[in-house]
Amino acid sequence: MPDAARRVHNLQRVVSAPAAAARGILAARRITKRFPGVLALDRVDLDVAPGEIHAILGQNGAGKTTLMNILFGLVQPDDGALYLGGRQVSFRSPHDALAQGIGMVHQTRRLVSAHTVLENIVLGHPRVRGFLDLRGARSDVQALGTRYGFTVDLGARVWQLPEGERQGVEILKALYRGARILILDEPTSALTPPEVKTLLAGLGALVRDQGVTVLLVTHKLPIVMAASHRVTVLRGGRVAARLRTAEATEEILVKHMVGRDITFRTPERAAAGSPMIQVEHLTAHNDKGQLALRGVSFSLREKEILGIAGVTGNGQDELAQVLAGLRPAVSGRVRFDGRNVTRLSPLERWRMGIGYVPAERAEVASIAAFSLVENTALTYHFDPAFARRGLLDDSGLKGLTRRILTDYNIKAPHEYARAQHLSGGNLQKLILGRVLSRKPRLLIAHLPTQGLDVEATAFVRSALLDAKAAGAAVLLISEDLDEILSLSDWVAPIYEGRFGAVLPREEADAELIGAMMAGLGHREDGER
């Protein structure tokens, strides 16, 4: 691998210059970037030392991704400069950044799922022109993987791999392109807890043993605390703080990140009302036709939250979709407000007052190319109050959208902006606001705070509690055990399509639930 080796060699020579070592391998000075109507970055300085894991922490919209895109040459700054090993560089495209040894692993995977791991790694490599020397590449990649401690089956097709391994493929791909500085954008957002552990261990080894430098973009405090050496906190496009992680605490970081103290609300146990939903021995297939939901039973009264805790892929998707009418039940029964609703369509369920907030915000819960008003209409186009004689009431929908934007503190240019321009947190608040504006009597919230920043998370949780207070029965499906324990009246750990138990909150302690999520103490057909 002469190219990569030479690049690494060059880079090491540059880095080993004494002045450069003192000043950091990668630096940014006074980086400013404006987008229409937004100052995304405002005179941002950044110093990354060689061989460290440097965390970039900030809420959604703090400018993290823009900054990383500038470092990777995807976006050009309006002002300021980048320095590599003390010398000014400018990247006009990712190609330039890659040539200088900077690699990026994006938040969403950029792999061809029908291709093998090896083909994906080789794809786009400058050495591949016309002819593929897969055999030569295989041994190179294998050697690289062994050296860096990443073992992936190079012959496997990408679609067969779990998310954690796909990410490993992208890291390996960046290293194969000769990257010595790795930018990882929210690398843990789609991973299960064990995968996160593996990833962080792998990054630690890369940095410690191979001298690779890692820039870790995240809004997750525990990740920063566990993995990074130093942290730069961004807030509203500015650097709010630069700290050594060892000298920081989660509380300090939150303060810099949000600019004030955040308190999470805890639920008040109200007098429970009448039963709203009863689920009996419900089973369902997943998309591959396997039985993924294997007999779930529970009942829930109004003004109660049932927290379903589990690692993704244990039947939560199927449960939520069956309850929303988007997936047929194989057997079992769902009664809502005393009525058998097992076979009702999603439309009938919306009309009856069942509200669903799916985990897939951008793919299922919203339409990217539609305006915010049109997205509001997604759960109102059938409502006589907003669709009279076949015509949509545009001004009514606009007013409703405006109310949601204000009530939920959503940052959007105007009601007719496209949903795709909203950040993840703002989009989620819009979806939640739209669903709650229908005043549902049953709310199914699937991973409602996944990928959200601290402030949006607190807001969404508070909205769930408000819905409960207003009389709804709430089904909260989450991977975040703390979230489940802090909000729920009942807790049901789910494992391989079954509930381990349905426990009142008082009896559910973290260790017990955590063990049940992992399949321990698994009882047949948890019933309450």
- Of the candidates 107, 103, 106, 105, which has an alpha carbon nearest to the alpha carbon of residue 26? 103
The answer to whether residue 74 forms part of the interface with other proteins (CB under 8 A) is no
Q: Which is nearer to other proteins, 362 or 512 (CB)?
A: 362
Measured CA distances, 199 to 1, 187, 195, 211, 406 (Å): 26, 9, 6, 17, 39
The pair phi, psi for residue 385, each rounded to 5°, is: -70, -20
How many secondary structure helices (H) and strands (E) does the chain include?
18, 23
* DSSP, res 116: B
Binding flag, residue 366, other proteins (CB under 8 A): yes
66 part of the interface to other proteins, by CB under 8 A: no
Span 134-153, contacts to other proteins by CB under 8 A: none
Nearest distance in Å: CB 196, other proteins: 28
Instruction: Tell me which of 3, 79, 153, 509 binds other proteins, using CB under 8 A.
Output: 79
Beta pairing partners, 492: 308
Residues 6+ apart with CB under 8 A from 399: none
User: 11 to 50, contacts with other proteins by CB under 8 A?
Assistant: 19, 23-24, 27, 29, 35-36, 45, 47
Name which of 115 and 351 has its Cβ closer to other proteins: 351
Partners of residue 301 on adjacent β-strands: 275
Site string for other proteins, 393-432 (x = CB under 8 A): -x--------------------------x-----------
The answer to whether 384 and 475 have CB atoms below 8 angstroms apart is: no
Q: Which region, judged by CB under 8 A, interacts with other proteins, from 279-287, 376-384, 444-452, 463-471?
A: 376-384
Please select the residue that binds other proteins; options are 3, 6, 13, 90, rule is CB under 8 A: 90
Separation CA 405–CA 195 (nearest Å): 36
Name the residue among 523, 522, 488, 525 with its Cα closest to residue 504.
488
CA–CA separation, 51 and 211 (whole Å): 5
Which candidate, 117, 164, 113, 114, places its Cα nearest to that of 141?
A: 117
Closer residue to other proteins in complex, CB, 81/272: 81
Among the listed residues 367, 485, 512, 515, the single contact to other proteins using CB under 8 A: 367
Give CA–CA dist 99/410, Å, rounded: 40
Q: How many residues bind other proteins (CB under 8 A)?
A: 50
Best CA proximity match to 176, nearest among 48, 7, 26: 7
Note whether 525 binds other proteins by CB under 8 A.
no
CB of 362 to other proteins, least distance (A): 9
Q: In the bound complex, what is the minimum distance in angstroms from residue 49's beta carbon to other proteins?
A: 13
Name the site residues for other proteins (rule: CB under 8 A).
19, 23-24, 27, 29, 35-36, 45, 47, 76-77, 79-81, 83, 86-88, 90, 92, 324, 326, 345-347, 349-350, 356, 358, 360, 363-370, 374, 377-379, 381-382, 387, 390-392, 394, 421
